[in-house]
Amino acid sequence: MSHITVVDVTIKDLESLEQACNKLGLNFQKFKKKFKWYGHKDGDCEHAIGVPDNSMAYEIGVCFQDTEEGTYCFKWDNYRGGMGLQALVGPGCQYLINEYTKEVVRKEVQDMALNDGWMYDEEVNDNTGETTITLRKY
């Protein structure tokens, strides 16, 4: 049985979300008001995330969580792996959430490095995929 799931995440930075989508091979569709899910193309959203070159794949709706704070959440249908979507975003959108988090941290750290005299270094462990960001005051 198919249904829409709300992912437990708070998105505050759409620019970082779009960068995360690009890194995962996803298409961030700014201002798209409907997202595709099992048998439907009518899930309401503010933006959508899709899989390029896969017309069968479902989409993630990026929906307002709190309009006053300008925060968003994800809504999607993972039935049958979202017809290819889950392979890119991970179970429960975990790959997308992780990449979004890295983009937010990168943005903050790079800003600190430029404005506050910090050196910034990023290293990815080839075995685990874990990212380590190091800051040093100079």
- β pairing state of 5-11 and 71-76: antiparallel
Q: Are 31 and 56 in contact (CB under 8 A)?
A: no
Rounded to whole angstroms, how far apart are CA atoms 97 and 116? 28
**Rounded mean pLDDT, 19-48:** 94
pLDDT in the model for residue 122 = 87
Rounded to whole angstroms, how far apart are CA atoms 15 and 59? 19
Query: Nearest-CA neighbor of 73 among 83, 82, 84, 63?
Result: 63
Q: What is the pLDDT of residues 54-106, one digit of tens each?
A: 999 999 999 999 999 999 999 999 999 999 999 999 999 999 999 999 999 99
In degrees, to the nearest 5, what angle opens at C-alpha 92 toward C-alphas 91 and 93? Answer: 90
pLDDT in the model for residue 2 = 63
What is this structure's pTM?
0.89
- β pairing state of 47-50 and 27-29: antiparallel
Query: Where do the H-state alpha helices sit in the chain?
Result: 14-23, 85-89, 94-116
Rounded to whole angstroms, how far apart are CA atoms 111 and 99? 18
The structure tokens listed for 58 are: 């479902």
